[in-house]
Amino acid sequence: MRSRNWLSGIVLGAGMVFAASAASAVTIGFSQVGDEGDWRPAFSKDMQDEAKKEGIDLKFADAQGKEENQLKAVRAFIAQRVDAIIIAPVVVTGWDQVLKEAKAANIPVFLADRDVDVADKSLYVTRISADFNLEGRLAGAWLAAASKGRCNIVELQGTTGSAPAIERKKGFESVIALFPDMKIVKSQSGDFTTDGGKKVMEAFIKATDGLKGICASFAHNDNMQLGAIQAMKEAGLHPGKDVLMVSVDYVPAMVTELKAGDANASVELRSAIGKYIYPVVLEYLKGKKDWPKWVKIPSDVHTAADVK
Ligand code: GYE
């Protein structure tokens, strides 16, 4: 009898410990852009895997590329009283109101990857992200060297109004502006998708009589460039040979194209970035409140020569 009590005491105690740890697990709501290319799902998977490793209860909401879905998701996280909210915002505008609501509810917000444009920066703790402007500059610098500073460029822009489309364009333009014979002659959004990139390149091919006089294609991400490569091949052109191909992300499918010689360079945007993001959130929740407004993640440039 005595030993049974003793045993049930342990079972009960263990149950209480378990209940206590389950109750104290940190709950984080993550509003993700969608799955527009190869980079994004890799980032989503990394966020889910890292959350498991950290014992975080992650509520993951896929916005399917629509900001209105993100606003709904963030409001749902507020209603659920999560401990923190992470947002990878589709576009930079339209965030003031919902961030005010999170602040009023005392729920800290962290930006991951993309940026927002809000007047009051105290509405979020910090942004943990690569430097998209630097990525644009790296692509521009690579192209300046590869073309010896003489190049007519077609540009495939990312989602209009998104931080990477704005900043990669600005960074790239700031470098080519240093070379009087480098210029962007055509530029259009392909919405960061393979399909979008293919359609835009088809239009460029038509408008330039088969890319006559065009020396390079700069795409704000690899997926659009992968679509552009398809369009060029279908038109009997030789991407990577007739036209220099430079883009951003360094996804596995682009590495394959670099190896095959259909593309020339890609700036790496790391997708395994949960290990940079969660420690900031967790330390904040434990009491470290003073973060710089931007925690930067490095980016590197890779050329066809590296992957061979
Ligand atoms: O380059 C692109 C994705 O937000 C920086 O979004 C990210 C970009 C990335 O769709 O492939």
Q: What is the pLDDT of residue 305?
A: 87
Flag whether 66 is in a domain: yes
Query: Are 142 and 213 in a shared domain?
Result: yes
CB 248 near ligand 1, within 6 Å = yes
Query: Are 11 and 89 in a shared domain?
Result: yes
CB 155 near ligand 1, within 6 Å = no
Query: Are 174 and 288 in a shared domain?
Result: no
Q: How far is the CA of 44 from the centre of ligand 1 (A)?
A: 12
List the one residue out of 164, 158, 128 whose CA is nearest residue 280. 128
Flag whether 307 is in a domain: no
Flag whether 260 is in a domain: yes
Q: How far is the CA of 173 from the centre of ligand 1 (A)?
A: 19
* Distance, CA of 228 to CA of 196 (rounded, Å): 9
Flag whether 305 is in a domain: no
**Residue of minimum CA distance from atom 8 in ligand 1:** 164
CATH number at residue 145: 3.40.50.2300
Query: Are 164 and 119 in a shared domain?
Result: no
Query: Are 119 and 139 in a shared domain?
Result: no
Encoded amino acid at 190, one letter? G
Residues present in the chain in total: 308
Of all atoms in ligand 1, which is nearest to the CA of residue 220?
1
Flag whether 220 is in a domain: yes
CB 113 near ligand 1, within 6 Å = yes
- Count up the domains in the chain and report the number: 2
Q: Inform me whether the pLDDT recorded for 17 exceeds 80.
A: no
Mean pLDDT, range 70-92, rounded to an integer? 98
CB 37 near ligand 1, within 6 Å = yes
Q: Report whether 31 contacts 73 (CB < 8 A).
A: yes
- Whole-prediction pTM value? 0.91
Query: Are 227 and 257 in a shared domain?
Result: yes
CB 36 near ligand 1, within 6 Å = yes
**Residue of minimum CA distance from atom 2 in ligand 1:** 221
Flag whether 304 is in a domain: no
Q: How far is the CA of 164 from the centre of ligand 1 (A)?
A: 7
Q: Inform me whether the pLDDT recorded for 9 exceeds 80.
A: no
Band (pLDDT 50/70/90 cuts) for residue 8 is: very low
Flag whether 59 is in a domain: yes
Q: What percent of the chain has pLDDT over 70?
A: 93
Paired residues of 129 in beta bridges: 296
Q: What is the pLDDT of residue 287?
A: 98
* Distance, CA of 86 to CA of 126 (rounded, Å): 10
Query: Are 141 and 229 in a shared domain?
Result: yes
Query: Are 85 and 104 in a shared domain?
Result: yes
* Distance, CA of 202 to CA of 234 (rounded, Å): 9
* Distance, CA of 270 to CA of 196 (rounded, Å): 23
Q: What is the pLDDT of residue 218?
A: 99
Q: How far is the CA of 185 from the centre of ligand 1 (A)?
A: 23
Q: Report whether 240 contacts 257 (CB < 8 A).
A: yes
Query: Are 208 and 276 in a shared domain?
Result: no
Flag whether 108 is in a domain: yes
DSSP of 82-145 = -SEEEE--SSSSS-HHHHHHHHHTT--EEEESS----S-GGGSS-EEEE-HHHHHHHHHHHHHH
Find the distance separating the first CA and the last CA of the chain, reported in whole Å.
73
Query: Are 107 and 207 in a shared domain?
Result: no
Domain that holds residue 46: 2-130+271-297
Of all atoms in ligand 1, which is nearest to the CA of residue 36?
10
Query: Are 36 and 83 in a shared domain?
Result: yes
Q: What is the pLDDT of residue 226?
A: 98
Q: What is the pLDDT of residue 172?
A: 98
Query: Are 17 and 29 in a shared domain?
Result: yes
